[in-house]
Structure formats: structure tokens, C-alpha cells
Copies of this chain bind each other. A is one copy, B any other.
Amino acid sequence: MYYGVDYYPEHWPRERWDTDAQMMQQAGINLVRMGEFAWALLEPKQGHYTMEWLDEAIELLGQHGIATVLGTPTAAPPAWLCHAYPEILRVTRDGQRVTFGMRRPYCPGNDWYQQLSAKIVLAMAEHYGQNPHVIGWQIDNELGCHDSTRCYCPECQKRFQLWAKQKYKSLDALNAGWGTTVWSQIYTAWEQIPLPWSTSGASNPNLELDFWRFSSDQMIAYQTRQVEILCRQCPEKSITTNLMGFDFQDIDYFALAKGLDYVSWDNFPLLNRREPADTALSHATMRSLKDRPFWVMEQQAGPTGAQIMNDTPKPGQLRLWAYQALAHGADAMVYFRWRTCPFNTEMFWHGILDHDGVPRRRYKEIAQVGQELGRIGRHVIGGATPKAAAMILSYDSSFALELQPNAKGMSYSDLFSRFHRALHELHVPVDIVAPDADLTPYRLVVVPTLHLVREEWVANLERYVQQGGWLVIGPRSGVKDKTNCVSTETLPGLLRNLCGIEVDEYVALGEYDDNAILFESQTLGTTQADLADAVCATHVWCEILNPFAAETLARYTDSYYADKPAITLRRSDSGGGTVYVGTIGNNGLYTVLITWLVAHSRLASLLKAPDGVEITARERNGVSHLFVLNHTDQEQLVRIPYRSRDLISDRAIETWTTIEPYGVYVLVGA
């Protein structure tokens, strides 16, 4: 199993490299990622390549049993390049051209920058294509980071006009799709089409959604150009790029992942004090993009920050996060970064070692994990997450809701996270799939919202339910068509039949008001006494449902629509059904609902566990590895209802067993 660090030999004197390599080896490190910001050192002047220093680093590390993933260095064009060709620099939404000084300053659609990128990538591919220590490539770095997906330069305007022409063929079709009869926006020539600059005021959301799609496409095309060179030059080396988890939604990651051999991503749990459930959601999303194990290419190793530092990982947390990644399908993990850089913007973004290079507790903890994974990793990696529940992720819906949140407090990520946490707390394995994915493997499919909907997606969902599947659909689904127009059919538009409801009216509660719902105990079934008669507060949004072919699961308690249906169920003949949730609730609402659905869809929780203890499974060659992860700073008591053994300690585990703060078990049946 690869266990690595992101390493920047170019930041340190040559005489330190040997010490670093030895310390890495001692910590069980067997992989480094290098080179992804080193363009200026690889091509110090245009067309003049100097790769000897990198050759030497690769060789030295190789001698210590450490393989290399090489980054193509295009995320940071050198000073000489930006000075010579300022036209390759991106333009922001307010019309200002970015100046040199940070990463990712380039316009991804700029043809000359694409050519310059191709040249350095080709040079590296030729140079390292046969190097035995180099096992693969990372393209660029965090494509889209620092709001770099969308460029508003005049050339992007022309490319967008061309993209729109290719999509709509005629101006009539475009004008229809964008609703340009409003406010005299009818375009009578392709050249008239603007970008959604901030100086336009509130933009046309139909146009802007297409601009976001264009921008996503353009970034992927930028990646593709590098993929093609690398595939041609060194077909046997794997290709990835480092993504940014579930939270980053500027690029359609399903489309971006297609060109990669495997997905990798950058995981910084403390950067925004992310909940463990939300880290789990990102792991699941990254795994699901290609439905295969992924890498963590940058794993948090210390406090992060540029001007301001964030939290320091507490003793045990680095180890816990390593196992959480492994539990969710990581086949390798690479810490960012080996040693904290003493200069420039990220001087407070800490690596395993502090600036002084002295090994301290973080090094020791990571070395412990390295030793453990050296023993047990091979039993786990390659293993798959059991197929149980799926959640549908639609970048189109995310785009549409970010452009127009509908109500103060509504966001795509928040809706997603609310449903996911309920599944997470019940320890139900979750895949994150596209709306057109094969849903057959799943007993339960959750659609937090399908705000923008296409006919083929609806057909896919209908097929799933007809075959006995259980489906949950959240509020504001079916509202938008593929050009981001509101449906002129009664809502939820194309989803009406599937759900058996119509939306009579909706109310944006915004930040001011709330309401509540009361679950119908009779409908839910009397066997689950704790769920019956549950009253759950609702916020932000309420739809008043007319269940023309559905049962009512919950009703509002308040305002002029008290007693009106809020959550409904249409059962299918094949034993499944579709639940429509017309509101946004507190956590309790999702717990009640998902608990009930898990039971009805005959899903089983992997295990019961106290709050804050995560349970995840990974199966390989018929052996299930159950990960028990204590995210709390307290000892917890867990009941394991079968005989099992902890793979890490190689100890038998009792039925009632304690788990230490931030502790981990990897259980196999005994």
C-alpha cells in the first residue's frame, strides 16, 4: 500500500535530502508526490529544461524505496512566462485581469497557455516516461481552486459564444432556452452574447448556468490535452489529478473523472472544522466518481493557514483520519506536506515536520500509522464498499441552486449534508452517483433535490422504483428544465407521477420563520414507537403538497397550511416506493425518516454505536473489514454482536468493548 508525502526538495538545500529520505523511510513512507509547482525550476527560461535536480531527488528517494508521482507543474506558470505573455492571465467577474503573484492565474481556455502547458508536459513525459521510480502523474493541481474555473476575458467571451452556437445551433433556439424575450435581451448576432460580468447587475440565470457549464467543460478540456500527451508518451503510468472533495462544485467531477485512471483528492478536515460525517461524504463522493478505490493526495498533517492558522490536530486525530480514509475506499494516502515551508504564502500551512525539521508528535503518529498499514494495508486495499444506499449528485442542480438559492438559507450542499448525516449516523454505506447512474445495486436511493431535471433522469428513477427500489426526493425537485427555465407544468413537473403529488403552493420561510411537521404514526407503522408522533421543526422552505396518488407521511402543524401534507409516499406495486419531502427539517426529521426507510427498504445498519463513533465496512475477497472510528475525545463503549478480531492489534474483541478517544478498530470476523 502506498503511504506517502508531498515533498518539495526544491525548497531545501541538497544536503538535507538524505536526512529527509531516511526519516521518510523510517516512518514507513514509500511514495512522494513532487514537481507540481516547480515549472520555474524545470524550465527556467522558455524552451530550456533543467530536470537534473529532480532526477537526483527521484533517484535518491528511489534508493530508499520511495516511489514518485510527478505533478505536471501547470498550476503555477513561472514569472518569466506571465511577464512575457500577460494575455494568458485570467480575468475575474468584475473585469480585472489577474496579476502575477499567486497560483492558478491562467485562463484555462487560452490557446497559447495550453500550448505552453503542452510543451512542458511533453518534455517531462519524454524525460520521465521510462523512469522506473516514477509510477504516475498528477495533472496540474486542484483544478478550479481559488475561483479559477471561470474566466471572463474577451477570448472566453468568444469561446462561450462558439460553445453556445454549437449547443443551440440557432439563435432562435438559444433565445428560447434563455428566455431573452425578457428585458429585450434577444440576441440577433452571436457576437452580442455577453458574459455574466458583475457589471451586468443580476444576470440572466439561464445564460449564467450555461456559462458555468461552458467553464466546467473548458477546464476539463484543458485537462484532456495533458491526459492525451501523457497517455501517448508513457501509457503504462497512471494518471490522476487532485480533486477537492464533495464541497467543490464548480466543475462536473463525473465528467472530469472520466479521463483519469483513478481519482485522488485533498482532505483537510480541520480547515473549516468539517464534521466527520462530511469528511465521510467527501470520501464517498471521490470513491463513487469512478466506483473504485481512490487516493488521498493531500492529507492534513498539521495546522493549516496562510495569514491565519486553523486548529491543530489533537493527538490521535491524524491516525484516525488515516483509517477513516482507508475505511471509505482509499488505497493510498499522501500527507501534505513533508516539512513546513519557511517562506512564501503557505509558510503557516504545516507539514508533518515543523519548519525546523525536528520529528515531533505528528511525525511519530504518522510513523505509527505507517508501521500499522505496512502490516494490514494489503488486506484492505482494493476492497469495495458494500452497495447499500446511494445519493444522487447533480452538478446541474448544484449550479442552478447556487445561482438562485430560492430561499435564504437553502443550499445544495446543505440539503445534501442533512440527508447524508442521517444515513451516516445509522452506519449505512453510501455511494454518491450521477442522476443517470445504474441504481439497480441499491436498496435505497436518496435525492436531496433534483432541482434541475432531465427526462432521461426521471425515466431512470421511475425504472428503479418500478423494480422495487425505495426512493426519497427532497424539496424543490423538478423545478428547472435543462436550460434552467422553471417548468410550466405543475410542480414537481416531470416528477409528479413518480411522486404521486402536486405542489399546491410553496412558502419561503427564509431566516425569519419556522414551522414544524408531525409524522403520521399510523402510516409509519406502530412497531416503531419512538418514531410515532414525532414533531420536527422545519425551516427555510415549505411546500404544500397535494397527494393525488400518494399517502401522507407528515403534515405541517402551523400557519395557514397547518394539517396540509409535507411528506408523502407513493408505494409501487413492486414493494418499493417514492417519498417526497416538501420541506427542510431539523436533524430529527431526517433521522425519523431515514430510520423508517432503512427498515422498509430492508437495509441493515452495520452496527449500533454511540454518537460520534463511525462504522464503515470494506469488503475484499469476501472478507468484510469493519472500521470502528471514535471521532470523540472521550472513551466510548461499543457492542460488537459477533466474535471478531482487531486487525491492527491482532486482538480478539469482546462483545462489549471500549474504544479510546480518537481510537480505531479494524474488525474481521473471528
Contacts and interface: CB of A to CB of B under 8 A. Distances in A.
Range of interface residues on A (Cβ < 8 Å): 35 or more
A192 interface: yes
A195 to B, nearest CB: 8
Contact of A505 (B182, B312, B348): B312
A160 to B, nearest CB: 13
A92 interface: yes
Given A80-B192, A102-B200, A178 B403 contact: no
A549 interface: no
Nearest to A307: B404
Given A192-B80, A192-B83, A486 B184 contact: no
A475 B596 CA distance: 54
A224 interface: no
A548 interface: no
A183 B103 contact: yes
A341 B406 contact: no
A490 to B, nearest CB: 5
B186 A79 contact: yes
A76 B207 CA distance: 17
A427 interface: no
Contacts of A273: 512
A201 B306 CA distance: 12
A457 to B, nearest CB: 19
Instruction: Specify how many copies of this chain sit in the oligomer.
Output: 3
Given A179-B343, A205-B344, A192 B508 contact: no
Contact of A39 (B184, B197, B348, B407): B184
B486 A98 contact: no
Contact of A406 (B348, B358, B486): B348
A182 B346 contact: yes
A92 B200 CA distance: 11
A202 B347 CA distance: 12
Given A79-B180, A303-B507, A356-B488, 13 more contacts: A37-B184, A40-B181, A78-B185, A99-B194, A101-B185, A101-B196, A101-B200, A101-B207, A179-B347, A180-B344, A183-B344, A342-B485, A356-B491
Interface of A: 8, 10-11, 37-41, 44-45, 73, 76-80, 82-83, 92, 94-103, 105, 146, 178-189, 191-192, 194, 196-197, 199-207, 273, 303, 305-312, 314-315, 340-348, 354-358, 360-361, 403-408, 483-491, 504-508, 510, 512, 559-560
